[in-house]
Structure 1
Amino acid sequence: MKQAEIRELRNEQDFKEFYLKNAPATFCEECNNITYVHGNGFLEIAKLEDLKKGQKPVEGKQTRRNFYSIILLTEGEIKESIGHKLYHFLPGTLYFIGENQLHAIERWSDNIKGVFCMFDADYFLLCIKHQIKLNQFPFFQANQEPFIKLSEREILMMEHLFWKLNSEKCQKTTFNDDLLTRMFLNVILLESERIYNKQASADAFSLSRKDQLAAQFQLLVNQHFMEKKQVADYAELLHIHPNHLNDVIKEVTGFPASHFIQKQLIQEAKSRLIQTSDTVSMIAMDLNFTDDSYFGRFFKKQTGVTPLQYRKNHKH
């Protein structure tokens, strides 16, 4: 049986081209658009009913998004596959699609209403100093359920927070104004986590053995990436052969195991370059690189710019 093609969506432009017939430059007509330098990340907010009107026939087509999505459903019904599980969402649901998560829309009802929000890791990176890491939120973890059910009061609260997020995004005229937008995004995620933890069930979330291994690997990378930089290090922790680990991670996520170690290192380096005044040498030392030049080559290979250029481009 032929395996279904999985389309990689790198950014908001890929999303619009894949899902929408005539995608607007921005989903908000009132936005004062700021031109971002490459690598500053993106945030887009849209009404579900507007997306439904312009939707292409994408039912059942699998994607991996290189960004994060939060969806608030207030009316109608949604069926989507997230990972290898089919979900049927009803009004009053807030659900989440993590970065690089396998995903497919199966059905959106015609009467759908709500809010769709997507953003990438670089955008969130600038939210707040020493912020929680995105992959530490339970609803973005592959071994946790990706949704919460909201009470009427919580629905109203989330609608208001999304309205404030969009309002601040539309009114921004400088990069400093944009910091407030990022902080509202942070508030939405923290409130979602509070509700999620309150609802946490004792029932174990069912995953296949390969998905469990991929989830365990990613959690270990989150914990040990600063001192353990080789796939073999994690294979040893998981008591399996490095080749087997790499094969499973590639099959489940579409990326080799080394991708997740390098990505975590780059995110930490970016965070420190933006949020601290530490020298490049200090950052390289903290991340356990053998010397500054090796760290500089590694950073430029992953981002296209040197650490100092990245800091200059992103400091406000």
Structure 2
Amino acid sequence: MFLDNIPVHNLDETDFFVVERIENCAPLNFQGSHRHNFYELQFFTETGTNESHSIDFVEYPLQANQLYLLRPGQVHTLKLKDQKGFLFAINPDYFERLCLHIERYADHTFPNMLLLPEKEIFAVRQIVHLIYCEHEGLHRKSLLNSYMHALITHLLLLYTDTRINQDIRVGKVLSLIDKHYINERTTDFYAREVNLSNKRMNELTKKAVGHTVKQLIDQRLLLEAKRMISSGASSFKEIAFSLGFSEASYFTRFFKEQSGCTPEQFRSLLKKDLS
């Protein structure tokens, strides 16, 4: 199918991470949409006016001193223009091992986006500069590992400081949704798992992320549906059944209610983007 030509950027398994300057990247690698088989940490030090990129079909504005984390399998679109900064392609196993060294870390808590406070810009830029110089120079793995550990630790703790008042049970709910969203669609299941009433759990998730549990489940289902459509490997009927819908028509209705377009219309939009 036509969407099979969405490229997947791969990282050699022998590399625990690779770093390059955004302004030195080959434009051909960013034509249309693409995916990664690794974590990609993007650090924009400079951007032009009104620039943006798309992650999982949602458009995000770009600005200087902003970081984005792309997870493996996410669909990404970025038109290289006036952006400057650094791209880190990080082996998934290595990234997750690094993060386990941070107390109370869970994957979903790492920020999708982080705008550096003014007082943190110098420190983060210095660490990134050390990593890049060592990567391009002597490439001593012990130093690269230490520098990368320092960077991830700094970013995680910086983010944690901004979320210090978030109830830890919200993180568990988000993790449970990511694991069970296909088979467990009711709020009751998640409330039982975290020993909360439905009302209290929804109060906590709305305060933390702006959505009820039901809304979060629907968002996760829609995201997976969009990813499967973009891969071009399955029919709409196959996607519907794999996501737990008993009828393809139910899936089509759900998709339109959540996204404003039918699966067919969404696929046409993707085809237009790739043409």
The residue correspondences of 1:197-276 to structure 2 (distance < 5 A) are: 197-200=160-163, 216-218=176-178, 237=189, 251-254=225-228
* Distance in 2 separating the partners of 1:127 and 1:57: 28
Structure 1 match to 2:101: 131
Which of 14, 24, 38 does residue 50 from structure 1 map onto?
24
Structure 1 match to 2:141: 178
The residue correspondences of 1:1-16 to structure 2 (distance < 5 A) are: 7-12=6-11
Aligned pairs, number: 194
Which of 149, 152, 156 does residue 193 from structure 1 map onto?
156
Which of 2, 18, 35 does residue 64 from structure 1 map onto?
35
Cα RMSD after superposing both structures: 4.4
The offset of 1:169, in angstroms, is: 3.2
**Which segments of 5 or more consecutive residues in structure 2 lack a partner in the other structure?**
166-172, 193-220, 232-238, 240-275
Q: Structure 2 length as normaliser, TM-score?
A: 0.54
The offset of 1:57, in angstroms, is: 7.8
* Distance in 2 separating the partners of 1:67 and 1:172: 24
* Distance in 1 separating the partners of 2:106 and 2:2: 29
The offset of 1:87, in angstroms, is: 0.4
Residue identity over aligned pairs, in percent, reads 16
Contact map agreement 1:5 1:62 (CA 8 A) in 2:
no
Q: After superposition, give the CA deviation of every residue in 1:89-132 in whole Å (9 maximum; x if it has no partner).
A: 11121222112112111x3333x22122111113335648x535
Larger RCO, structures 1/2 (Cα 8 Å, 6+ apart) = 2
Change over 3 Å in CA distance of 1:135–1:68 after alignment to 2 = farther
**Which segments of 5 or more consecutive residues in structure 1 lack a partner in the other structure?**
14-38, 141-145, 203-212, 222-230, 240-246, 257-316
* Distance in 1 separating the partners of 2:90 and 2:128: 13
Structure 2 match to 1:103: 76
* Distance in 2 separating the partners of 1:218 and 1:117: 25
Change over 3 Å in CA distance of 1:87–1:126 after alignment to 2 = closer
Q: After superposition, give the CA deviation of every residue in 1:217-269 in whole Å (9 maximum; x if it has no partner).
A: 43569xxxxxxxxx869999569xxxxxxx8785255499xxxxxxxxxxxxx
The structure with the greater share of residues assigned to helix is 2
Structure 2 match to 1:89: 62
Which of 140, 163, 183 does residue 129 from structure 2 map onto?
163
Change over 3 Å in CA distance of 1:139–1:86 after alignment to 2 = farther
Helix, strand or coil at the partner of 2:85: strand
Q: Structure 1 length as normaliser, TM-score?
A: 0.48
The offset of 1:160, in angstroms, is: 0.8
The offset of 1:88, in angstroms, is: 0.8
* Distance in 1 separating the partners of 2:46 and 2:85: 7
* Distance in 1 separating the partners of 2:184 and 2:225: 20
* Distance in 2 separating the partners of 1:118 and 1:134: 20
Q: After superposition, give the CA deviation of every residue in 1:145-204 in whole Å (9 maximum; x if it has no partner).
A: x2111233322211111122223334556xxx41331232222122112222344599xx
